[in-house]
Structure 1
Amino acid sequence: MTSQHETRVLLVGDYPPPNGGVATHVEELFRAVRGRGGVCEVLDIGKGQLPAAGVIPAGSVPRFSALLGSYAARGFRIHVHTSGSNPKSWMLAQACAAAGRVSGGALITLHSGLGPAWLLAKRSRRTMAKAVLAQFARVIAVSGEIRDALAQCGVAGVDVVPAFSHEFIKPGPPPEALATLRAGASPLYCAMIAPRPEYGQGILLRAFADVRVKIPAAALALYGPGSDSVREDGVHPFGELHRSQALAVMAACDIFVRPTLADGDSVSVREALALGRRVVATSVGHRPPGVRLVPPGDARALADALIASSAEPAGSPEATGPDGLERILSLYGVTACAASAAS
C-alpha cells in the first residue's frame, strides 16, 4: 500500500464557493488527505474558480486539459466528482479516465439524483456510460439508486459510499440576525435552496405559507445561492453562507427541510440528523432513518409534515450510517492518524 507521505491525489470537481453538494465533499476530502500527511490538490471546475492554496481554477478547456495531463504525468491519482446527469459530465469523466491511465487508474464518484433518469432514458446513454466507466479503476455512487441505474447500464462492482463525514460537522459563528430570529420564532425551520427546479423552492414556500396560517410564530431561515432574493412573510434569507455558518443556522433551527424533487444522498440531511435536528424531506434518493418523508412536489403534504414535526419533541444527535470519508481515504492509500484536517 502507498504510504501516507507518498500519496498524491488530484481531486477534479466543484470547490467552494458556492458551498454544498459536490463542492462540500471535495473540500472535505482535500482537507482530510492533507491533514493526514498526503499531497492533495484540487482542479476546480465549479462556478467560483477562485485560486487558493492547493486549489487551481480549471479555466478554459485547453487549460483544463493541459493541467489534467500534467498532474497525471507527475503521478497524481485522479478522482473526479461529477453529476452523471448530462453530456458535459460524461465528457469530463472520459477526459479523467484517459488521464488516469497514466497514473495508475482514476476514480470517479457520481453524485446526482438526476443521473439515473437521464441515463435510463436512452439506450445510447447506457452504452456510453458502460464504455466510459469501464476505463476507471474504481466507480463510486453516493446512493443505491445511482448504483442500481449503473447496473442497468451493465456496470458492475460499483461501491456505494455516502459523500458525508462527521469529521467536519463543526458549526461556526452564526450569521448576523440569527440570534434575534431564533428568539422570536416558534418553531424555526431552515432549508438550503439553489436556483434550480430540483431544489423545490416554490413548493417549500407554498407549504410554509400554509404553515404560517396555523402557526403564525413560525419562521423559515433560508440559505444558499439566490436565497437572498426571496421576499415572503416569515421567511428570513441569509444568502450564500460559508459552510460553518450554514451549520450554525442548521444547529439553531428546530426542523430542517429538504423539499427536493431529486437527490443522490443529501449531505445536508445527514448533517441535520447528526446535529440532532428533526428533518422533513421528500422521498427521493437515499434518506437515512429518522427522517419524516413526504411525496416530492406535494406542497400540502409538506405543510402537514412541517406542522406535525413542530409538535414532536426535540431530537438528539443521530447516527447516520457509515462514514464515507475513511472508505475513500483507504482507496487513496491514506490511513487514519492522530493528525486530521479538523484538528
Structure 2
Amino acid sequence: MRIAIAGTNSLAVLIAYYIQQETNYHFVLLSRSERPTLEARDFPVLVVDYDDTSTLQHALLGVDVVISTVTGNPQVALIHAAAANRVSRFAPAEFGSTPNTSSEPENDPLDRGRSLAVALLEHYKTTQGMEYTLFICGILYERFAPGGLYQQALSLTTPAAGEGDYILNVRNMTAEAPIWDDDEDLVSLCLTSAQDVARFVVEALEMRQWPTTLSMVGERMSVQSLVALVEEVRGTQMQSYISHNMASLQSEYVLAASMEDSARQMRAVNHIATAMGRFDFREPALNRRFRNIQPVRLRDWLIRTWGSST
C-alpha cells in the first residue's frame, strides 16, 4: 500500500510517524515547500502545487490512499486529482465534529468547505467506487495546551484556536462554558489527543472496508466535569467562571456580532456547536474495533502538559 499524507502539520507528521513505526507501507508527505527537518527524519516529502492539476496528479501516481490535513480549495483539488488517478481511499481533513444536519452549509460557520468536500467524495464513491471516511475525534486535547492549537501546529486554518479560545484557559484559570443544552441537560463532549487520533487512523488502514464515518475518543465527559478536572489538576478554582445555556450563548453571539468582534463570535459559535452535541457521540467505532489502543486519559495529559499541584 502506498499512502500520500497531504500537509506537514503536527497531525500529518504523527500519522507519518506511526505508519513508519508500525507498518510496512510506503508513504509520502505532500508539502507546499521543502521540509529538510522532516527529510532528516527519513520522512519522504514531495513538494506540490495545489493550483497545478497536472503536477498534483503526478504526485499521486501509484497512490492507494490519501489522508488529507489540508482544507478549502487545496483539498478540493486533491480530491479531483485522487479521483483522476483512481485512488482507492480518501480521508478528508474533517477531523472533529459530527456532520451538522440542522442547517444548510452556508448557515454553518464551522462548515469551512466540509460539505463541498463530502459531496465530491460521495460523487466519486458513487461513480467510481472511491471509498472515503470522516475520522471524527471530537475536541483535541491540544486545544487546552499552552498556545492552543496554533502553538501545537494543529488546525492552523481554524478560527479561534488559540490558548483560551475554547471553554477555558488553563493558564489563567478562567472559563466560559456551555454547561446546559436546549433542554437544560448537562452538555457532554468527546475529546482525544492528536497522538491517539494518528494511532487510530493508521490502524484503520487495515480495515477491509471504510464506512463513511469512523469515530474515536480518548475520553467522554460533561463540560462541567471538564472544568472540575482542570481545577483538580491545577489545585485551584477558576478565577472567573461563566456558565452558559443555549439562550445565553445565542445572546453572546448576537452581542459579539453587534460589536463586530469576530474572535468572540467564533468562540460563541464553537460553544453553541458544543451545546448542540456536535462534539459528542457514543460507542466510538474505532475504540471498539481496535482495543489494543489504550487512549491517553485527559487527566494524565493535563498533568504532563501543565503539571499538577495535587
Using the size of structure 1 for normalisation, the TM-score is 0.40
Using the size of structure 2 for normalisation, the TM-score is 0.44
